[in-house]
Structure 1
Amino acid sequence: MNKLTLLVCGVLIAGAAVFVYNLSQQPAGHSMEVPDTSSLSQGDPIAQVRVPATFSAPAQLGKVAFDVKCAVCHGANATGLEGLAPPLVHKIYEPSHHGDEAFQRAVQYGVQAHHWRFGDMPPVAGLTRADVQGIVAFVRELQRENGIN
């Protein structure tokens, strides 16, 4: 075999090993699976959410906007509501899977259902990028309080 073939094979084997290793590093206690909500009734909170004792100033403003525009579907403190919308305090919405810009795009354009069975999310009128930044700050602080980083 020539040196180039050996190099390519070595790189492929190393890449496969890294891929398999990363798959095995799923944090304990977290799952991308959607929780079983079969025992819940329409409108029941889906997740139990611990609320931080205090929020940063941006998150406090975001909470006000969240309560006005988002809580009707996503529940108080982003618990999700059975039959309406998912909890945002969930591993699926951690920053490495749904970055802050994903929230901006969801508000502006809506979201086609892809993780949950709630159907598509429509765009949300009346929120500026700054409003959504505050909402994201609020959700991220709730997530961190609940072990989602």
Structure 2
Amino acid sequence: MKSTIAIAAVLATGLLGIMIWKTPETIIEDVQSQDSNSAGAFLDVFEPELSSNAQIGKQGYEIKCAACHGANAAGQDGLAPPLVHIIYEPNHHGDEAFQRAAAIGVRAHHWPFGDMPPVEGVTRGDVTMIIAYIRELQRANGIN
């Protein structure tokens, strides 16, 4: 009897997980429902007063990342995802994930934009500053 109850509980938990699990399509729909007034951007991103490292990172971001990921890491519809998004919170995509994405690229796995190529001409130090900028934007916008 106890094993039947345990099996039923596991099955119910799994079914609940399937019902609430978000697919990339539903994530995109959620982000697009927060649409911004900026042309092509997914989100309105509040930019706080930045630390000196984040200010340096913002400059690097604008040179190497903004063409795809948009101003203030808000993403660009049809081109690249927002980095100020719960998917990129530190507990899900740690700093090393950003380092690896810049160095070797990344295969598409959360969004239907296709693979991200490596970013030419950035060092680990450059990416560290860019990460400081992105993390400060995330925190200012409720992503910890």
| Fold-level similarity (TM above 0.5) | yes
Match of 2:129 among 110, 130, 134: 134
Say which structure is richer in helix. 2
How big is the shift at 1:105?
0.1
Q: Which residue of 1 aligns with 2:46?
A: 50
Runs of 4+ in 1 over 2 A off after TM superposition: 37-40
The residue type paired with residue 47 of structure 1 is L
Q: Which residue of 2 aligns with 1:35?
A: 28
Give structure 2 stretches of 5+ with no counterpart.
1-5, 18-23
**Structure 1 residues 86-114: Cα deviation after superposition (integer angstroms, max 9, x where no partner):** 00000000000000000000000101000
The equivalences for 1:51-130 within 5 A come to 51-52=47-48, 54-130=49-125
CA contact (8 A) 2:28 2:111 kept: no
Greater Rg by CA: 1
How big is the shift at 1:145?
0.3
The 3-state SS of whatever aligns with 1:47 is: coil
Q: How many residues align?
A: 122
Write the distance in 2 (CA, Å) between the matches of 1:102 and 1:34: 20
**Structure 1 residues 101-144: Cα deviation after superposition (integer angstroms, max 9, x where no partner):** 00000000101000001000000010010100000000000000
Write the distance in 2 (CA, Å) between the matches of 1:132 and 1:78: 14
Query: How does the TM-score come out when normalised to structure 1?
Result: 0.74
Query: How does the TM-score come out when normalised to structure 2?
Result: 0.77
Q: Which residue of 1 aligns with 2:20?
A: none
Root-mean-square deviation (CA, aligned residues, Å) is 2.6
